[in-house]
Structure 1
């Protein structure tokens, strides 16, 4: 495999507030993209004319919606690539932008993601063709009784499996929802900014045991963007003080083990293990070197499983991290200071870029009331079933 040569930096980030679908009248995806993209350009202190390529992610929309979105920033004839990788779409756009820089194909690239969603549970897609999740659903249905809505059933099944194997309780999952809602109180970009008691979380409407409504990410509208540049670009434009380096990044897709009879693997456990290990190998960093983590808590069960998949603890040990308060302020890591997908919201194409924005602010020390003390390295995880996992490690350029 060719070795990566060029260093990659994020020098500008921007996002919209995540909103309940349809809440902002007249707020279509071009307006969302203009808002997040303009903020990212202003944060970087550059004009859109500097951008040489664009990667635009979204899951619902027409084939050239990426062009229509970026045309709000300018029409300069650059290559624009439309990206769709289920819930990991935003991070996939970031991954492709970083590849362009790393490979020496460009000096300045924009990664942007947006989503304009319909209220309620996610639809199953086109009815005249096989679902890309068909094999995953069949594999899971062989070990757990099929139920609607499909996504919470899949992650709920993985949670139930963990409970059976390791004695995890419903309260452990609820504590994750409690933590993330509490974190979101300090995030002006979050769809929800209300703190709930643990009893509120536990007594909310059951969606797929043990997952209550307040442990499930909502449908959301919103957008995020990042300006990704080369080391030479950082030097020429004097951006070192605000630059955040991508020191490790990996994408994995499903392995044969996805269908080995484990609910955890159906929802991507092995993908997550492999992607994170590759990032640790690339960066020379391990789990204990990070102070802040934004990970894909589409459901609280996934966050719990990710503690183990990312190596924060051994298999079966995640409940201990939760009980000891190791994943919130004052603990070993602060996981999802933004409120995560559960409370910040989950506009599919924007999620990965919103995670990038939060971690960039954390590394710069500009996250206001959410700021984690002494941040020197940050870790990002984003997954889409069917499937792709993207893990990214960041450090300040001036470390």
Structure 2
């Protein structure tokens, strides 16, 4: 893909509602309509201006996207529904960006929402083969932990692999969680805004001895977020702010090495993240050292740590030093998850990728208030869904000529 196609995509508006614990939120259609309305208002547009919509969610019946958007308007436009596990929101963003880059449309609304239940994520259709059957088989064989909940086994196993390979400690994962809480204190949309220390994290209930405590895992969350993408010509015609653009984007899925490598880090998407980020850097003509701020997929503190290396933010095996030097927070090399990330902001699966977009657009506009990363011009988004898919998106601040 050429850079010229990406130059045609402006993030005109973003919207997000405060995330909530299961049982404390509105229904999905109300949340989705609220987020979409906020994004339209931010862009200064009416629903009648939207030419196409892409809606993402994981736990919902078919055409839930229409149900949410019909609360905003019923204009007859194409509405597509997307489910790509935890990468659903950014997959919807990827498809919307592709539609704009094709030239077929000039204005697309992207919406993501989720109304989750308490507790660990489980299968809905138990009467048929599941998309995680192979992941379960391989992860149980590698970890020897068949009784752990799948997500805990996957990402805890990946963290354990990093510990065995590079000497990473439980304290390193705890430091990531504590950092997330410090960032979330300033985010009014985060579900958890209380600051916790590294010791608080270490002393929380043990989920896997020596590998994970409860505070190292993100909570099930309900919420919604949205974005409006437009072409530069449409933006000029409607007087839309063109400050933030998507300048590169890549989506990857699994290769044989995911299962054949017998490596838990590969099983949870290390290779997907590495490949997608390399494609993005090459397309944009930049490197990881150029990134000012990033929203990473920290469903577990363990995944944030291995993602530092997969995305090239530090060398392979260098995550422990990266954390110790404070290079993952304000004053360091790249501020990671200024929103508080999935660990503190919450993780409503379909909304997560668009909540990341919301944060990074705010950062590049300079409107993130107490979370603001000074002088941010390049922002990286990393959204991972097992099963699997990974979307990496690069946003750039483009000042008026």
Asked if TM exceeds 0.5, the reply is yes
- How big is each residue's C-alpha offset from its partner over 1:343-369, in whole Å with a ceiling of 9 and x where there is no partner? 000000000000000000000000011
- How big is each residue's C-alpha offset from its partner over 1:121-149, in whole Å with a ceiling of 9 and x where there is no partner? 11123111111011112112221112321
SS at match of 2:349: coil
Alpha-carbon distance in structure 1 between the residues aligned to 2:118 and 2:50: 34
- How big is each residue's C-alpha offset from its partner over 1:158-185, in whole Å with a ceiling of 9 and x where there is no partner? 1111111111110001100000011100
> Aligned residue for 1:245?
245
- 1:81 paired with 2:69, answer no
> Aligned residue for 1:104?
103
CA RMSD of aligned residues (A): 1.2
> Aligned residue for 1:324?
325
> Aligned residue for 1:144?
143
> Aligned residue for 1:215?
216
> Aligned residue for 1:302?
303
SS at match of 1:87: coil
- How big is each residue's C-alpha offset from its partner over 1:289-343, in whole Å with a ceiling of 9 and x where there is no partner? 1110001000000000000000011111100100110000111111000000000
Q: Does the 8 Å contact 1:173/1:300 carry over to 2?
A: yes
SS at match of 1:142: helix
Unaligned runs of 5+ in 2: none
Q: Does the 8 Å contact 1:211/1:299 carry over to 2?
A: no
Q: Does the 8 Å contact 2:3/2:248 carry over to 1?
A: no
Distance apart, 1:2 and its partner CA: 8.4
SS at match of 1:14: strand
Q: Does the 8 Å contact 1:110/1:228 carry over to 2?
A: yes
Alpha-carbon distance in structure 2 between the residues aligned to 1:17 and 1:138: 37
Distance apart, 1:213 and its partner CA: 1.1
- How big is each residue's C-alpha offset from its partner over 1:247-304, in whole Å with a ceiling of 9 and x where there is no partner? 0000000011101101000000000000000100111121111110001000000000
Q: Which moved more, 1:339-348 or 1:129-138?
A: 129-138
SS at match of 1:349: helix
- How big is each residue's C-alpha offset from its partner over 1:52-88, in whole Å with a ceiling of 9 and x where there is no partner? 0000000011111011011111000000000000000
> Aligned residue for 2:358?
357
Aligned residue pairs total 396
> Aligned residue for 2:184?
184
> Aligned residue for 1:170?
170
> Aligned residue for 1:257?
257
Q: Which moved more, 1:326-335 or 1:5-14?
A: 5-14
Alpha-carbon distance in structure 2 between the residues aligned to 1:358 and 1:60: 24
- 1:56 paired with 2:58, answer no
Unaligned runs of 5+ in 1: none
Taking structure 1 as the reference length, the TM-score comes to 0.97
Alpha-carbon distance in structure 2 between the residues aligned to 1:313 and 1:141: 30
Distance apart, 1:205 and its partner CA: 0.7
Alpha-carbon distance in structure 2 between the residues aligned to 1:368 and 1:190: 15
Taking structure 2 as the reference length, the TM-score comes to 0.97
